[in-house]
Chain A
Amino acid sequence: MPEQVAAGHQETPAQEVGDFLRRRREQIAQRWADAALFRTVFTVSREEAVEAGRAVVEALAAVAAAERVEEQEADGFSVVREQLARMAASRSRAGSTNSQISVEVDALRMPVVDLLIAELEGRPAEDVRDCTTALTVLMGTLRLVVLETLLSAGQELINRQHLQLLEVATPVIKLWEGIVAVPLIGTLDSARSQVVMETLLDSIVEQHARFAILDITGVPTVDSLVAQHLMKTVAAARLMGAECIVSGIRPAIAQTIVHLGIDLGTVKTQASLADALGYALRKQGAHIVPQDPHHAGSR
């Protein structure tokens, strides 16, 4: 026993904290299960919360034993990173802000520190202070890891949604045999205009379309860059052998275009998507005749 104590004194504070965490794993997990973070995430059973707490303590013990209490990238964390991310995501889905989650993680610190101080009773004050500091730093790192997973999850979400927006925002619709249309909705930037151009041209080849309609009814503003993109799309479609019609230019946009001095003279325009479809059908040789029962009867 005296030998063990002597060996214990050889350890650095971080390693001692690691030993302590491993020894008191069960007790800490039980206490954490009552903390707000675990209680609200694992609502089904307390056992589950204890299990999760045990895994986190285990990871912290590994990090402390490796004396890397200040490093977020320590190997010990990688084991529980996914679990922490799940917990944090669950909290943020429930409506907690990042700082609220941060406070909840911080609340895990006090129970452990209390235990540690109780454990070290009778030891020199210097040792107690060193160990408490190491533990506090470790818990701070845990907090950072949780926040980091939160932020990266947010960033991933934004990236994914940006891609989705690009795909969703540009559906090419086949209106008739040989007629395709892109109804553009929302603000156009150059990245989107590029996607519109490519998808439209691809669908011209795919559908063997002689007419392509660009409907900009849903575009709130047009600046010179967007107008230039529209003209490029029209020119490229023409080179491929299709006629491109721009429809749905609203009065305000028409005014802007005139003000900017953009010459849309080479672009065929129609008032609405319906007019553009009618124009394309006429050019294809189709006639739209209103169904009139009287006429049909007299003929």
Chain B
Amino acid sequence: MTGAFPSPYGGQLPVLRIGDVLLVTLQGDLHDGTAEQLQEDVSEAAADSRVKGVVIDLSGVEIVDSFLGRVLSDIAAKTRLLAAETVVAGMRPAVAITLVELGLTLPGLRTALSSDEAIRLLGEVSISPRHERTRQESP
């Protein structure tokens, strides 16, 4: 799928648009330069196409450092300014433990088990916020 795009190590990651959601899939090791480039790409794409959500799929990432943690929360903060919500999906247990041990609990970030779930989550948020509230009120 990524064959049509330049190699990730060329400094760019594919940012796919699916409906009104942007999907970014991270694989393997991520260079700091790539991560920074990603930040710009995502915020530009979000501004251009006026999407309502950004899904960052981390299921292919096995090692993270504090820099990537910060990049993730930066992306979330930027897209929020552009009225889009960022959801991090499919984080592995080892990665989650590492981030927590580093003290990066990423409080402002939404998370989901998989990309599929993340897209559904984004759909729920904007289409039927009312449903969720009524559900909570009447047990």
* B 90-122 to A, binary, CB cutoff 8 A, 1 in contact else 0: 111101110111000111010111100110000
Q: Does A197 contact B (CB under 8 A)?
A: yes
The answer for the CA separation of A278 and B99 in the assembled complex, in Å, is 30
Q: Does B88 contact A (CB under 8 A)?
A: yes
Q: Which residues of A contact B136 (CB under 8 A)?
A: 282-283
Q: Which residues of B contact A235 (CB under 8 A)?
A: 100, 105
Interface size class of B (residues with CB under 8 A): 20 to 34
Quick one: given A236-B93, A241-B89, are A204 and B113 in contact (CB under 8 Å)? yes
Q: Tell which of B97, B107, B111, B135 touches A241, judged by Cβ atoms closer than 8 Å.
A: B111
Distance between B95 CB and nearest chain A CB, rounded to angstroms:
8
Q: Which residues of A contact B107 (CB under 8 A)?
A: 266
Q: Does A34 contact B (CB under 8 A)?
A: no
Q: Which residues of B contact A202 (CB under 8 A)?
A: 93
Quick one: given A198-B93, A204-B93, are A232 and B113 in contact (CB under 8 Å)? no
Q: Does B139 contact A (CB under 8 A)?
A: yes
Distance between B12 CB and nearest chain A CB, rounded to angstroms:
26
Distance between B75 CB and nearest chain A CB, rounded to angstroms:
15
Distance between A231 CB and nearest chain B CB, rounded to angstroms:
9
Q: Which residues of B contact A240 (CB under 8 A)?
A: 91-93, 96, 111, 113
Residue contact B99 to A238, C-beta cutoff 8 Å: no
Distance between A270 CB and nearest chain B CB, rounded to angstroms:
13
Q: Does A142 contact B (CB under 8 A)?
A: no
Q: Which residues of A contact B118 (CB under 8 A)?
A: 241
Within A215-239, the residues touching B (CB, 8 Å) are 232, 235-239
Residue contact A201 to B97, C-beta cutoff 8 Å: yes
Q: Which residues of A contact B100 (CB under 8 A)?
A: 232, 235-236, 239
The answer for the CA separation of A278 and B114 in the assembled complex, in Å, is 24
Distance between B115 CB and nearest chain A CB, rounded to angstroms:
10
The answer for the CA separation of A240 and B87 in the assembled complex, in Å, is 11
Quick one: given A201-B93, A202-B93, A205-B93, are A236 and B113 in contact (CB under 8 Å)? no
Determine which residue in B89, B93, B107, B117 has the highest number of CB atoms from chain A within 10 A of its CB, and name it. B93
Residue contact B114 to A236, C-beta cutoff 8 Å: no
Q: Which residues of B contact A288 (CB under 8 A)?
A: 139
The answer for the CA separation of A128 and B41 in the assembled complex, in Å, is 96
Distance between B76 CB and nearest chain A CB, rounded to angstroms:
13
Quick one: given A232-B100, A238-B105, are A285 and B88 in contact (CB under 8 Å)? no
Determine which residue in B100, B106, B111, B118 has the highest number of CB atoms from chain A within 10 A of its CB, and name it. B100
Q: Does A88 contact B (CB under 8 A)?
A: no
Known contacts A201-B97, A208-B114, A239-B99; 8 further A-B pairs (Cβ under 8 A): A204-B113, A232-B101, A239-B100, A239-B109, A241-B88, A242-B113, A287-B139, A288-B139
